[in-house]
Structure 1
Amino acid sequence: MYQMLQYNLPVRVDKIDSLSVNKVAKGRIDLIVLRHMARQLLLTLLTMEHQASMMNFPVVYELNERQLCLHRIVFYRPEALHAEETLSFVGFVSGRQPTNDHTLNEELFQVDRQMLEKLKHIPGLLAYSSLELRPGRWYNLVMMQTLDVKANLKGIDMHQHAAYHLAPRTYDWIRIHSGIFPGGLSKNVPQLLKTKHYAFQHETNNFQMHEFVY
């Protein structure tokens, strides 16, 4: 289905006929944003290098990107991000449905706050960042030592609540990319391994899913 560029980037934009929304495969475009987030993560890491020994982790940074986009970075085990060895990542890209449900927004805020606290107990989790590129369009980058860490993430009760109860009420679609950074974060040449596309059906509180393997 795809022709390939260097770093396993898909060239064409293909339709996913099996989905009702989120029909376009945008791995290459998403990867551009995720690379930018990784670069910002590394630059922030370098600015705190001389203070790291005095810090208690996790540490949260908030950056103001262009057009007033807020980029939040949470470091859990930053020392591992310096390693020149392959690191793994998961990138979440989501499109929120328009809503003025203040109760839902408050629940999302509380779940997010509790999740950030629980994540610090997961071995192999290195950093987490989130960027609202434009209203309702969120990008999240999770850095980890290996993709095996995903199983620990999924086992968190708050993650299960967010995935199975909040997501169908909150999002129109989600793309979840899994991949690696060969040579470490400093190389910043991520490769996609697979992508899961989710399209939510709000009438039935259900979803459709399509998976690409690169």
Structure 2
Amino acid sequence: MLQYALPIQVDTIDLLTVNKVVKGRLDLMVLRHMACQLQLALLTTSQQVDMTKSPMVYELTERQSCLHRIVFYRSQVLHEQETLSFVGFVSGRQTGSDDILNEELSQADRHMLAKLTHIPGLLAYSSMELRPGRWYNLVMMQTLDVKANLKGIDMHQHAAYHLAPRAYDWIRIHSGIFPGGLAKNAPQLLKSKHYAFHHQTNNFQMHEIMY
């Protein structure tokens, strides 16, 4: 499932006072595993289908029946040994089930996947539910400038400002690079942000780390 990075608009943004554990290094281990699976899917799929078609969806089942979905947009660039950029989203869903909200998120997910096709520099997107309610998402791009185009999509703004604050207790966003490309699989973090939502006050707190 796609995760949405922008929190709701509020009058004040407080520094995170309770849980400042951003877990960047731990999250990076999972994101690196996802990058490895992405590369494996890239190599396997390229031998079976025409990878010039976009988007190309690939699904695999991880351990403990975790579904890992990978969408290739410009897979040919992923073969190159040049530095690539990435954004990793990690989120914790609120406890309890809201069927209406779940359906809204699913609809936003489907619409976003179609619109991402038109963003230059976007290479691939993968998502994996490591355990119930704990989503990891890896966005591969040529440069981090692509993030501005992602945020400009109307469906992204709707999901970020209206759906995510209702659906998640917290979101961690990691930005970084893959020196030497995907094949080397040695990601480096540049920046991490941790958002903790306060649903009763319609506010949130944020803690940021620069590496």
In the TM superposition, 1:170-185 aligns within 5 A as 170-185=167-182
Q: Distance in 1 between matches of 2:144 and 2:70?
A: 20
Q: Distance in 1 between matches of 2:55 and 2:65?
A: 25
Contact 2:20 2:207 in 1 (8 A): no
**What is the match of residue 61 of structure 1?**
58
Q: Distance in 1 between matches of 2:126 and 2:144?
A: 17
1:196 matches 2:193: yes
Give the drift of 1:206.
Answer: 1.7
Q: Secondary structure of 2:136's match?
A: strand
**What is the match of residue 95 of structure 2?**
98
Q: Distance in 1 between matches of 2:93 and 2:18?
A: 12
Q: Secondary structure of 1:123's match?
A: coil
**What is the match of residue 85 of structure 1?**
82
Q: TM-score, normalised by structure 2?
A: 0.90
- Structure 1 residue runs of 5 or longer lacking an equivalent are 1-16
- The percentage of counterpart residues that share the same residue type is 78
Contact 1:22 1:174 in 2 (8 A): no
- Matching residue within 59, 73, 76 for 2:73: 76
- Matching residue within 116, 121, 131 for 2:118: 121
Q: Secondary structure of 1:94's match?
A: strand
Contact 1:21 1:172 in 2 (8 A): no
- Deviations along 1:119-154, one digit per CA (max 9) or x if unpaired, are 000000000000000000000000000000000000
Contact 2:83 2:179 in 1 (8 A): yes
Give the drift of 1:207.
Answer: 1.1
Q: For this pair of structures, how many residues does the alignment match?
A: 198
- Deviations along 1:37-84, one digit per CA (max 9) or x if unpaired, are 000000000012234536521011111000000100000000000010
**What is the match of residue 25 of structure 1?**
22
Q: TM-score, normalised by structure 1?
A: 0.89
Q: Distance in 2 between matches of 1:168 and 1:104?
A: 11
Q: Secondary structure of 1:189's match?
A: coil
Q: Distance in 2 between matches of 1:207 and 1:185?
A: 34
Letter in 2 for 1:60: V
Contact 1:93 1:140 in 2 (8 A): yes
Q: Distance in 1 between matches of 2:31 and 2:178?
A: 11
Q: Once structures 1 and 2 are overlaid, which stretch shifts more, 38-47 or 18-27? A: 18-27
When residues 57 and 22 of structure 1 are mapped into structure 2, their CA distance, relative to the original with a 3 A threshold, is farther
**What is the match of residue 167 of structure 1?**
164
- Matching residue within 199, 210, 214 for 2:207: 210
Q: Distance in 1 between matches of 2:89 and 2:160?
A: 12
Letter in 2 for 1:59: M
1:135 matches 2:127: no
4+ residue runs over 4 A deviation: none
**What is the match of residue 186 of structure 1?**
183
Q: Distance in 1 between matches of 2:164 and 2:188?
A: 27
Q: Distance in 2 between matches of 1:20 and 1:102?
A: 32
When residues 122 and 54 of structure 1 are mapped into structure 2, their CA distance, relative to the original with a 3 A threshold, is closer
**What is the match of residue 32 of structure 2?**
35
When residues 188 and 118 of structure 1 are mapped into structure 2, their CA distance, relative to the original with a 3 A threshold, is same
Higher RCO structure (Cα 8 Å, ≥6 apart): 2
